[in-house]
Structure 1
């Protein structure tokens, strides 16, 4: 080989060795690269309506080795998160963020700059269902027919919000709530005429989605005869 070609090849080899394999776009300015960490997947997420006025959703996220730097994320949006313990986080969400979504993903994240996860970290997501309204009991659930005044009924349920209505015999009646679980309604005398067949009552709840609860039995009985003097 001619000396001038050999010299050129050595120079090129030296330049390549000096430059290295090239610049990786993931490299940080100091020449190191830290991959985003992976957190444990949450074990369970419980969701229920927190406030009858706003219909905000309350999250209880159960898992392992939670820390105060971890935050709950829903469809990629970080929520203000309360660290309860190493096994529980709590967060609150405006339902408009997941409007018309019967299911949505929830995950736990740590933002970059954490003392343990300098490049941040996230968990695999867990799919959560939108909470549905429930009707657990009516008190009383047996009423006398043809009362002389409106009849009071106490309602026990779950995920109830303002604007909830009771539906009885095809007519809607407003329900007044003291919480997302407790409420009351009044049935007028004309709603309690004697009718044959099984009677039932259910609740129509407008938010976070318009849904009906399963119905419960509400019996209307004929008033007992009054004894002659």
Structure 2
């Protein structure tokens, strides 16, 4: 999915690096060095998403984000920050951020999160009782799942993992994203809890066909429809 991205970052070297990386994924990127320039661009262009640095000159990222939300602008915003404490992340979410990436930025992680934000936005705009990928169908409202028409007996965690993978629509979902969405911020990111539950989910899925879950080494997982 090609995105129109506004990158708000005052570090010129990092800005150039991120523009080049995002371009490799097919995204079109406009840049702003400070909050005032960002506000002007948002008023003039229809961006799919904003990648916003926390520390900016003139107007910091959090203040800019609050102003965007107060002005009724609901464009998805991903915060780019060197701050990794839970309290800092919560401040960003309370101000209206949709997600965050902690520096140094991994290009695959950044793209995965941007794509996930856009899928989530589409899902809220077009609600449906079921989502599917290949022969796998999931009903979020009923917490039921099927493969090849056969009902799957899944634990709550296995169901949540499968739902995230199906919603990703063939894109990679990182371990960090799964931990945040299913277990919250209290789990240490280095834990193998994701791998353990994916193993159990795989075992149940392969009873009805080939293994549909691909492992992206060092990154996460992808559902091959």
Instruction: Report if TM-score (shorter chain) is over 0.5.
Output: no
Q: TM-score, structure 2 length as denominator? A: 0.24
- Bigger strand fraction: 1
Q: TM-score, structure 1 length as denominator? A: 0.24
Higher RCO (C-alpha 8 Å, min separation 6): 1
- Bigger helix fraction: 2
